[in-house]
Structures are given as C-alpha cells and as structure tokens.
Amino acid sequence: MEERDLSYRDALPTGPARGRGAGLNPGNRFESVRLHVLGEHLDELAAEHPTGTQVATRILPDRTRSIINPVDSPDLSMKWTVNPYRGCEHGCIYCYARPGHEYLGMSGGLDFETVILAKHDAPELLRKELARPSWRGEAITMSGVTDCYQPVEKDLRLTRRCLELMAECRQAVGIITKSKLVLRDLDLLGKLNEHRAVHVAISVTSLDNRTASLMEPRASSPRDRLEAIRTLSKAGIPVTVMTAPIVPGINDHEIPAILEAAAEAGATSAGWVMLRLPFQIKDLFLEWLQRHFPDRSQKVESFIRDVRSGALYDHRPFTRQRGEGPLAQHIGATFKLFARKHGLSNGRATLNEEAFVRPQEGGQLGLFA
C-alpha cells in the first residue's frame, strides 16, 4: 500500500456528520498522542450546524500484493475471503471491521466510512492466485470484512470483475451484503449457480426505516433488501437472511418479523450474530446510542453488558458471536423458534467446489510458464 498524506484529517468535523454513522473521529489506539474533543465543544458545533456537516468520501489506492485471505477462526465457517475494499461507506455504527483502519494510521470513526481503500488490482491478483497449482477451488467468501457491494462498487466494479473471473473458473463463492446492488450481477450469479457454486447472504437488521437508517446510514433500505432476497430467490439462487447484529433493546424484538418477511421473500436459511464491540467501537457506539436513543441509552448499554458478563465485549470464540446469560439465551431461543417456524433452520446449501477449473495465468502463454 502506498504512503498517504493524512493531513486532510485536520479538516474533518469533530461533531456529527450528516448521513454518516460515526459522529466522532478519535485518534487510533496505536498513536502515542491522542486528541479527544470535549463534549462542550460538540454541543457548540451541534448548535451551529443542527443538521450536521457534510463529509465527502475519498477513494485511495490500496497496493495490496495478495487478494485471497485465509480465515483462522474456529467460530467462522468461511476459510477464505476476498475483500476488494478496506473501509465501508455504508457507515454501520456497529461494524466490527472499523478497528482495521487503525492499522493504517487512521481512525475507526469517520475515517473508516469516508476514506475507502480500493484494491484496483484485485481481479488481476485473483486470476494469478486461482491459477496457482496449490489452489484447490475451495469456497471463497466475498467479503468477510467490508461490504463488497458498498456504494463505490457501482463505479469501480471491482466486485463484478472478480465475479466475472469466478464465473469463468466456476469458483465457488459465498456473498455477504446489505446492498441491492448485488442484483446488478445477477447474470454472473446465475452462471455460477448452474454449477451450485454460489450462495448469497443478505443482512436485514431492522424492518423499520428509521432504525435501519440510523444504524446503517448508506446501506440499502429494508424494503430493497427484501426485494433483493425475492429477486435472487426467483432466479433459483440460495439466499440466507442474516439478522445481524442483534442489539438488545434496539432490534431484538424484530427477530420474528424479520424472519417471517425474509421467508416470504424466498430466503431458505437464516443466521444471527450478537452485537460485537471490540476496541474503540465501544466508545463510538455508546456516543451514537446517546445521540440517537437518549431515552433508552442506559437501558440498552445495560442489556449489552448483560450478555457480556458485565463487560461491553468478550473476544472468546463462539461466545463473541452469541453472548451468554439469560438474555442471550432468550434471544437465541427466539431466533431458533421462529427460524424453525418459517422453514429457515435447515442451514445453508453446501457449495460445489468440484466444478472449479483453473484459469491460465497470462492467457495461452500460461500453458508454457
């Protein structure tokens, strides 16, 4: 990755930004000196700009040297991921990927959703890596970190170019997104589906437009996500609905309605994950909670601590995904009951990895490499 001038961060607002998830841009945990804005100053900014301030999205090149990433986590089903982007303009306040920007010398706050690093060479790198004799066609997830169909994909088309190659090679792929833009690539998904080599998971965190827009300000609306499930299902593509994350006191009561709506739209399986708040996401989330839900912020924080044994996060595998204690057990039982009621408890269809055909790196010349 090339060196970047980050002096523009000085111009970023220190108060809530209009149409963004995070209202803050704190210094990252690796910096020896951190500057934090006092609450009184935030109040002054809010008074001066009651509708918030505008922050433009910046796209920077990511000079990565590899694109297929191994996943070494016992509580995740995926083994390999491809992430065309780092950072995500959807701006989901809860996103567990936010701390990744701190490794780049940026903030997990506004930087994460306004400074997007694009791997412009992703399709070319993918061709080289799929062509290696060591690659056996195991299923790849797009994307395990940030959404491969976030808004910048509409113009950059990196995900589509990767899928074009995957369709050519019959490379099994599972897609996770909360964007209706996935429907743009229905032609490629259809080709992969001919070999049982594709699966799509659509995240639906709420059916309420206000709640969804506050949690995920630049993601597709709940209606559009259900429409994506419906269209994919009609095309014969297996679809999972992800009720993730579940935030106790915010959207846990919607589990039955979300599962019913997704099943009616054609989803065939479902999954859920408890809210995860590693590192500085805790501060970002609690500030967001106080700003948008002041009447119940303390109650929601208490619920989160209830499922984390008094803390705001527990990093232990399996426990981090589900939480523990009576409230976590109740949420899990509710999900299980209604998933079974609506025929969503059978699990995802297994992707066919046997259809993979290795590409020839460099075209026909690859035969003599």
Could you write out the DSSP letters of every residue in 193-221?
A: HTTT-EEEEEE---S-HHHHHHHSTTSPP
Above 50 in pLDDT, residue 335? yes
CB 157 within 8 A of CB 164: no
Spatial distance between the Cα atoms of 202 and 58, rounded to a whole number of angstroms: 26
Q: What are phi and psi of 255, to 5 degrees?
A: -50, -50
Give the pTM: 0.88
Residue 38 pLDDT grade (very low, low, confident, very high; cuts 50, 70, 90): very low
Give Cβ neighbours of residue 6 (< 8 Å, ≥ 6 apart): 105, 106
- pLDDT (average), residues 67-78: 91
Which pLDDT does position 16 carry in this prediction?
61
- Confidence check: pLDDT of 15 > 60: no
Secondary structure of residue 60 in the 3-state scheme: strand
pLDDT for 29 equals: 75
Q: Is the pLDDT of residue 137 over 60?
A: yes
17/148 Cα distance (integer angstroms): 24
For residues 340 and 133, what is the distance between their CA atoms, to the nearest angstrom?
Answer: 42
SS3 184: helix
Tokens 């940030």 locate to 146
Task: Tell me phi and psi for residue 172, to 5 degrees.
Answer: -65, 135
Distance CA 322, CA 273 (A): 6
Q: SS3 for 149? A: coil
CB count within 10 Å of CB 332 equals: 17
The CA radius of gyration of the chain, in Å to the nearest whole number, is 21
In this predicted structure, what is the pLDDT of residue 44?
59
Tokens representing 323 are: 């939480």
Task: Taking residues 171-183, report their average pLDDT.
Answer: 98
pLDDT band at 135 (very low <50, low <70, confident <90, very high): very high
CA distance 366 to 87: 34
Within the chain, what is the greatest distance between any pair of CA atoms?
68
Q: Looking at the DSSP assignment, which residues form a beta bridge with residue 269?
A: 240
CA–CA distances in Å: residue 50 to residues 46, 96, 248, 287: 5, 29, 29, 17
Q: Mean pLDDT across the stretch 191-197?
A: 98
Dump pLDDT digits (tens) for 271-291. 999 999 999 899 999 999 999
Q: To the nearest whole number, what is the mean pLDDT of the chain?
A: 89
Task: Give the pLDDT band of residue 143 (cuts 50, 70, 90).
Answer: confident
Look at residue 369 in the predicted model and tell me its pLDDT. 35
Return the sign of the alpha-carbon dihedral for residues 306, 308, 311, 313. negative
Assess contact for 36 and 232: CB atoms under 8 A: no
C-alpha 97/C-alpha 88 separation (Å) is 9
Residue 27 is predicted with a pLDDT of 73
User: Side by side, which strands form the sheet with 115-118?
Assistant: 58-61, 115-118, 85-86
**What pLDDT was estimated at residue 240?**
98
What token pair was written down for 256? 């039955």
- Helix residue spans in 251-325 (DSSP H): 255-265, 281-292, 297-306, 319-322
Percent of the chain predicted with pLDDT > 90 = 76
pLDDT at residue 346, as a whole number? 87
| Residue 50 pLDDT > 60 | no
| 327 neighbors 300 (Cβ within 8 angstroms) | no
Q: Residue 87 corresponds to which amino acid?
A: G
Residue 61's DSSP bridge partners are 118
pLDDT value at 364 more than 90: no
Q: Which of 47-61, 180-194, 239-253, 288-302 has the lowest mean pLDDT?
A: 47-61
Instruction: Name all domains of the chain by residue range, CATH numbers in brackets.
Output: 7-368 (3.20.20.70)
CB 160 within 8 A of CB 188: yes
Asked if residues 276 and 320 have their Cβ atoms less than 8 Å apart, the reply is: yes
Distance between CA atoms of 130 and 224, rounded to whole angstroms? 33
Which of these ranges, 11-20, 87-96, 268-277, 328-337, has the smallest mean pLDDT?
A: 11-20
Pairing outcome for strands 173-177 and 140-142 = parallel
CA distance linking residue 319 with residue 311, whole number of Å: 13
Place of tokens 């996401």: 281
Residues 166, 194: contact at Cβ < 8 Å?
no
Lowest-confidence pick of 25-34, 56-65, 85-94, 205-214: 25-34
